[in-house]
């Protein structure tokens, strides 16, 4: 599983659609300004998202983008997979046979971990996030980082 800034852009933009899609289509120009992402880059990201039917574009004036399906049917994994190519990590798999099993073992372990992360991200939908984020919708309560090291918010949710 790959989780880069590109994926974050996509997730954040999709969140925007989820939040404001009820008020009509959301234009890329709006997202571009709100999130500080270049318009053309957004277009590229949305081309990927459209390809997977995660968003639906409406052309012409007054147009913009809607979610392709309800927010509770779109997982974070869906979004990330649409824009971030799922790269194959193992070098032994496929072509080459694994040498002495040892190499293969750690790769299996990684694959397991990878699957778990994917399963985890598949279990979180846009609707989940919005529902949860609504708790603090009043005001702007960003937590300041202490020393910039980890920036993990304590107790955001019990695991």
Partner DNA sequence: GGTTATTCCGAGTTCTTTACTTGGTTTTTA
Partner DNA sequence: TAAAAACCAAGTAAAGAACTCGGAATAACC
Q: How far is the CB of 156 from its own copies (least distance, A)?
A: 4
Q: Which of 26, 42, 76, 83 binds its own copies (CB under 8 A)?
A: 76
Tokens of 143: 């937590």
Residues that bind DNA (CB under 7 A): 4-6, 9, 27-29, 36-41, 43-44, 46-47, 50, 57-65, 84, 87
Q: How far is the CB of 40 from its own copies (least distance, A)?
A: 18
Four-residue CA torsion sign, 150, 154, 75, 32: negative
| Cα distance from N-terminal residue to C-terminal residue, the chain | 21
Say whether residue 81 binds its own copies (CB under 8 A): yes
Binding string, residues 21-50; x marks residues near its own copies by CB under 8 A: -------------xxx--------------
| Binders in 99-138 for its own copies, by CB under 8 A | 101-113, 115-121, 123-124, 129-130, 132-133, 136-137
Q: Which stretch binds its own copies (CB under 8 A): 43-51, 56-64, 67-75, 97-105?
A: 97-105
- 8 A C-beta contact, residue 104 and residue 50: no
Q: Return the closest-CA partner of residue 18 out of 152, 128, 100.
A: 128
User: What are the Cα distances from residue 18, in Å, to 3, 57, 80, 122, 158?
Assistant: 21, 14, 16, 17, 25
Say whether residue 144 binds its own copies (CB under 8 A): yes
The Cα–Cα gap between 51 and 55 comes to 8
């Amino acid at each position: 599983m790959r989780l880069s800034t590109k994926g974050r852009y996509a997730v954040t933009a999709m969140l925007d659609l989820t939040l404001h899609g009820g008020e009509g289509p959301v234009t890329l120009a709006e997202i571009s300004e709100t999130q500080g992402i270049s318009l053309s880059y957004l277009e590229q990201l949305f081309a990927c998202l459209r390809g997977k039917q995660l968003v639906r574009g409406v052309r012409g004036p007054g147009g913009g983008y809607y979610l392709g399906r309800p927010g509770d049917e779109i997982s974070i994994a869906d979004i990330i997979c649409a824009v971030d190519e799922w790269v194959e990590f193992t070098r032994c798999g496929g072509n080459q046979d694994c040498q002495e099993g040892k190499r293969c073992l750690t790769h299996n372990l990684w694959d397991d971990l990878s699957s778990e992360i994917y399963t985890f991200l598949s279990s979180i939908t846009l609707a989940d996030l919005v529902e949860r984020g609504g708790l603090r919708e009043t005001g702007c309560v960003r937590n300041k980082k202490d020393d910039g090291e980890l920036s993990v918010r304590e107790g955001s949710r019990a695991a």
